[in-house]
Amino acid sequence: MSSRVRLAASGPARTATTRRRGTTGAVRAAGLLVYVALSRLLAACGGAVTATASCSTAQPTLDIAATSISPGERVRVTGMYFTEGCPDGRPSTDVRLVVHQRGEAYALGTTDARPDGTTVWTVAVPSALVEGRGVLRADLSQELRVRVTAED
């Protein structure tokens, strides 16, 4: 008789435990679905969940030896931080260098960034530029102001 009582007493206890585990499993499954959905959403916006919180991308920059350029002159322009995503990401490809002056944009050249994210262009300054201010820009880089002087 006592075995019957134990059996009867353990039966509902086992069922209650199973129900709790089932509920816990459902909550865990729902949490996992939310995590996966958010991970995919964040990845579609430009990065993995962990990379988004731990990575700040430096804006690409340009540099030129002289801030004064003349039409027809050949100049060397260098850049840094041309990578996809984090600074240690893939090097950018087809980085366009453009000079802007008086509402006009003049394409100077295109290059691929090196593995470390640096770029180098050696270009001829367009003859259409006139004396005054100009701005160099490469894709999403910061502006680099230059002064255009008369041809030598």
124 and 69 within one domain: yes
CATH number where 118 lies: 2.60.40.1930
pLDDT digits (tens, 9 = 90+) for 73-113: 999 999 999 998 776 789 999 999 999 999 999 999 999 99
- pLDDT, one tens digit per residue, over 6-15 is 333 344 444 4
Helix (H) or strand (E) holding 40: helix 2-44
Residue 79: count other Cβ atoms within 10 Å of its Cβ.
26
For residue range 115-149, list pLDDT tens digits in order. Answer: 999 999 999 999 999 999 999 999 989 999 999 99
Predicted pLDDT at 4: 39
pTM above 0.85, yes or no: no
More confident residue, 69 or 3: 69
Ramachandran quadrant class, 50 (left: phi over 0; alpha: psi -120 to 50; beta: rest):
alpha
Average pLDDT of the residues of the chain: 77
- Note whether 126 and 89 are same-domain residues: yes
Looking at the structure, tell me whether residues 45 and 116 fall in a common domain: no
The answer on 70 and 143 residing in a single domain is yes
81 and 137 co-located in one domain: yes
95, 139 contact by CB (below 8 A)? yes
81 and 29 belong to one structural domain: no
Q: Are 115 and 91 in contact (CB under 8 A)?
A: yes
pLDDT of residue 47: 44
The reply to whether 87 and 139 lie within a common domain is: yes
Domain holding 46, by residue range, is 2-54
Residues 13 and 86 in one domain: no
Share of the chain above pLDDT 70, in %: 60
User: Closest Cα partner for 56 from 30, 81, 31?
Assistant: 81
Residue 105: closest CA among 96, 94, 92? 96
**Whether 134 contacts 145, CB under 8 Å:** yes
For the record, the structure tokens of 132 come out as 């005054």
Q: How confident is the model at residue 1 (pLDDT cuts 50, 70, 90)?
A: very low
CA distance 48 to 114: 24
